Structures are given as C-alpha cells and as structure tokens.
Amino acid sequence: MKRCLYYLFALLASLAFITPLQAQDQDYNSKLVQFSGITITADSLNPVPFTKILDICTHRGTTSDINGYFSFVAHKKDTVVFTAIGFKPVSFIIPDTITKQKYSLIQLMTADTLTLAAAFIFPWPTLEDFKRAFVETKIPDDDLEIARKNLLAADIRVMAENYPMDASMNYRNYIDNQTSKLYYFGQVQPFNIFNPFAWAKFIKAWKEGKFKSQEERLK
C-alpha cells in the first residue's frame, strides 16, 4: 500500500513539473519565425548578393545568395542587421504582431560612398634615395637636342678629321646611296642635307681645295 502511494505521488509530481515545461515550449515555439526575403538596391532594385544577415539577439544568421535571397529561423521581436560591402548597414526588428510562423521582407540597401585618404606611391624606399636619384640621374636628350648635336658642323668636322671612314662605313654609305637612287628612280632626288657622310665629304673636299676656281689653281 505504501508503495502504491509512493508511485502515485511521484506521478502527480512529474505531471505538475511537465505541464509548465510544455507550456513554456509551446510559448517558445509560437515565437519562432521562418524569416525570408531578398536584399535589393534602393536606387535600381538590383539584387545585392552575399549580404550578411545577423540576428544580434541569438547571434545567428545567414548570407544571401547570388540573387539576394535569404532564409533562416528567428524569433519575434529579434533585431536583424543587414551588412554588405559598398552599402550602409540596415537593421530590422521582426514584429511580434504577426500571426503566422513565417515572415517575408524586401530589404532595400542604400549605397555607401567611401572616401579613402590619398596615397602617394614613390619608386624610392626613402627620402635619401630620392634625393640621390634626383641629383645623379642623367636626363636623356630629346629629339630636338639629338638633332642639334648631329648637325653641329664642329662635330662633323671632328668626325671627318679624326675618324675617317673604314671599309664597313664606306660599304654602308655606298649601299645607302644605291638604295636611294633606286628608290627615287625617275624622280628628282631630294637634297641630302642631313646626311653626315655628305657633310664629311664636303668639309674634306673644301679643305683639300677642290672647290677653288681654275684661276686660283693655276696660281
């Protein structure tokens, strides 16, 4: 008899303990919501893919797919934060007035313009290297300076006097002359004023007196 009373008392105690737990579970389950939706841009209504969706109350969340779609389980009155690169963060509170266990949302994302500080990139690692390079660097001649140096009569004279043409230079000059004659065959050949070899020949002939008149030669 005592054993039966013991079992009856234990059963009543367990029933009294389970009833509040079941009520609590039912209340908890009634707050669960299948939170779904899409993230799109506010100006052009294009999908915002890979948006981070975080429930800051449960520290759970998900990421939207390539089309901006997302879905996860949350609770009523939870605060959900949407973040994406290039867009301003947005927060949303799931309302507690919904009667169904699912809720859909179209979340608009506003573009955020980031202004970065100016970055200066130099080819020198230190300021001392830059100063050394600035002082020691030789600036190459431009086309005008190169042409001026090539046409200096003094340089041509020195080349004619101190650097007589060798066999290879003579051969190249001959081939150039023949090529020029074939190129301008049947036409008036232009005056080759910029040819250094022609200038060298002219100065050499002038020094040798080949341009003197016959009267001066007879004297």
pLDDT score for 22:
46
Same domain, 121 and 101: no
Note the pLDDT of residue 209. 72
Same domain assignment for residues 103 and 125: no
Per-residue pLDDT of the chain (219 residues; tens, 9 = 90+): 555 555 555 555 555 554 444 444 445 456 789 999 999 999 889 999 999 999 998 888 899 999 999 999 999 989 999 999 889 999 999 998 888 888 999 999 999 887 778 888 878 888 888 888 888 888 888 888 877 777 665 566 556 555 555 566 667 777 777 777 776 666 666 666 666 667 777 777 777 776 665 445 545
* H/E run at residue 30: helix 2-30
pLDDT for 73: 92
Q: 6 lies in a domain? A: no
Indicate whether 200 belongs to any domain: yes
Are 59 and 93 contained in the same domain?
yes
Give the Cβ contact number of residue 94 at 10 Å. Answer: 19
Same-domain check for residues 101 and 43 = yes
Whether 22 is covered by a domain: the verdict is: no
- pLDDT, residue 37, reads 94
**Do 125 and 56 contact (CB within 8 A), yes or no?**
no
Assigned token pair, 99: 């009667």
Let me know if residue 158 belongs to a domain.
Answer: yes
Q: How far is CA 149 from the centre of its chain?
A: 43
Asked if residue 207 and residue 120 are part of one domain, the reply reads yes
Range of the domain at 96: 29-109
The reply to whether 216 falls in a domain is: no
Per-residue pLDDT of 187-207, as tens digits, reads 666 666 666 667 777 777 777
Residue 2 lies in a domain: no
User: In 10 A of CB 35, how many CB atoms?
Assistant: 24
In this structure, what CATH number is given to the domain that contains residue 97?
Answer: 2.60.40.1120
Domain boundary residue, one of 66, 93, 109: 109
Domain boundary among 46, 74, 109: 109
In this structure, is residue 7 part of a structural domain? no
Residues 101 and 123 in one domain: no
The whole-number pLDDT of residue 141 equals 80
> Same structural domain for residues 182 and 198?
yes
Q: Mark whether 152 and 196 lie in a shared domain.
A: yes
Q: How many domains does the chain have?
A: 2
User: What pLDDT score was predicted for residue 171?
Assistant: 73
Query: Does residue 188 lie in a domain region?
Result: yes
Look up the pTM and report it. 0.44
Same domain for 41 and 92?
yes
Same domain, 199 and 122: yes
Mutual angle of helices 196-207 and 153-162, in 10-degree steps = 70
The pLDDT of residue 49 is: 94
Query: Which of these three, 93, 109, 125, is where a domain ends?
Result: 109
What is the pLDDT at residue 149? 73
The confidence score (pLDDT) of residue 166 equals 59
**pLDDT on residue 34:** 92
Q: How confident is the model at residue 23, as a pLDDT?
A: 41
